Chain A
Amino acid sequence: MIKIEVDMTLCQHYGQCVFEAPNIFALDDDSKLSYLAEADDSERDNVESAIDVCPMQAIRILE
């Protein structure tokens, strides 16, 4: 399992992570981000891509 954390004080809900890791991140209808705090190891590559594309650099994998 991997643990995922989004710093919601940084997050501006741009939703770039949603395109890279759609199983983990979602934007709801009023443009607020939601995400799963735990995921299978198979999602690691997608979450790392989501980290790369976050303009606010708000996403981390907790090692």
Chain B
Amino acid sequence: MAAGPVIIVGAAMGGLRTAEALRKSGYAGELSVIGEELHAPYNRPPLSKDVLAGEVNHDAVAFPQRAATADVTWLLGRRVGSVDLAAHQLTTADGAVHPFRALVIATGIRPRRLDLPWYEGRHIVRTLDDAMALRDELVEGARIVVVGSGFIGCEVAATARKLGCEVTIVSPSALPIIRPLGAELAKEIQRRQEAHGVSFRLGRTITALSVHDGGSQLSGVVLDDGSAIDADILIEAIGSECNSEWLAGTGLDCSDGVLADGAMRAVSLDGTVHDDVYVVGDIARFPNPMFDDVPRRVEHWNIPTDTGKRAGAVLAAWLADDGTFAEIANQRFAPMPSFWSNQFEVSLQAYGLPGLADHIRLLEGELSSEAIMGYYRGDKLVGVVGLGLKAALVPYRQVIAGA
């Protein structure tokens, strides 16, 4: 076993939960967390809502620090450039070499960007700094184009509209959030967004940007049908890319995120399972026996916490070397995916993986008020989405879990 600390790369929710789980499971040795952002771990869902809408700062969204992790070394504002698994060391962009005994990969994802020229007025919403840079621009009467009609695009559009902006959502999709919600619920989301004054240009892509004369300030977007929309601000919410470039040359399977087994141990392209390298959060592609044995990346809010706790417990057992490792690593790991979305008065809550469904049924209520939609693969319920009706959703969660 190599000497040195456990190093967690990635100082967001997944890294924090892994550090807490290592301590809770009895690992008392050196533990460092390296993160690119300058902020200590914080909760991202408010970024598209409260942080954009008000004067919320880091304190309001920071995760509470617990006594158990008081002695963790936080190396913030540092990017990892490369890692050598055989030599058990990584190198940060400033050239410093950090040896490690075990490594946790928690570098997550970043927003995909439009492949168009850079102009002032192009924004994303992923980090606290992104949200704080955008919110000063969301003033009454500002003309906002949101490209992308997924959850983040729809939430940001709702927030901007509530602040008095003129908002248009442009998306190649036929309906907003059609994947994973399905057409019926997606139509209802669109209807409610439109009732609040959000405009949609669906089935369209942005092919060019325009700028004010002689400057670099965005003035509008051009769509693939040749039409133009005046815009002061363009918010890009068109999906994500994995922060896995620093793992080049390691032999790990980075074809979509980083492949892990059910113990969150990293897996190489040649099938080698690494007892001393773990993957957590948005970047982890792992199997969930609640559904099948297909490894998937799941970008839901609960996943960094569930995978971080799992990785921390397994890694602590390996480090303890007390004979419990094999048993703990082989325990069934089947976290319930769950996500939430607030847009205007719309409160959506989901369990399972609705995107796996081959058919969808209305289970309760009416889409025009409150409803529960069931998502089935064959005759098995694989997902459920509630529009309101939170308490009534709970029994379906148990059905999905197979409990």
**Interface residues, chain A, CB within 8 Å of chain B?**
12-16, 18, 27-31, 48, 51-53, 55-57, 60
**Selected contact of B389 from candidates A18, A31, A55, A60, CB within 8 Å:** A31
Interface mask (B381-400 → A, CB under 8 Å = 1, otherwise 0): 00000001111101000000
Contact: A29 with B302, CB < 8 Å?
A: no
Contact: B394 with A15, CB < 8 Å?
A: yes
Contact: B391 with A53, CB < 8 Å?
A: no
Interface secondary structure of A, over-half rule? loop
Contact: A31 with B338, CB < 8 Å?
A: no
Contacts of B388 on A, CB cut-off 8 Å?
31
Contact: A31 with B43, CB < 8 Å?
A: no
**Known interface pairs A16-B338, A57-B61; A52-B17 also in contact (CB < 8 Å):** yes
**Known interface pairs A51-B64, A57-B43, A57-B61; A13-B305 also in contact (CB < 8 Å):** no
Contact: B390 with A14, CB < 8 Å?
A: yes
**Selected contact of B305 from candidates A15, A53, A60, CB within 8 Å:** A53
Interface size class on chain B is 20 to 34
Instruction: Report 23 cross-chain contacts, Cβ distance below 8 Å, ordered by A residue.
Output: A12-B340, A12-B342, A12-B347, A13-B390, A14-B340, A14-B349, A14-B390, A15-B394, A16-B338, A29-B391, A31-B388, A31-B389, A31-B390, A31-B391, A31-B392, A48-B66, A51-B64, A52-B17, A52-B305, A56-B45, A57-B43, A57-B63, A60-B64
**Interface residues, chain B, CB within 8 Å of chain A?**
17, 43, 45, 61, 63-64, 66, 301-302, 305, 338, 340, 342, 347, 349, 388-392, 394
**How near does chain B come to A46, taking the closest CB pair, in angstroms?**
13
Contacts of B17 on A, CB cut-off 8 Å?
52
Contacts of B389 on A, CB cut-off 8 Å?
31
CA distance A15 to B64 in the complex (A): 20
CA distance A56 to B349 in the complex (A): 13
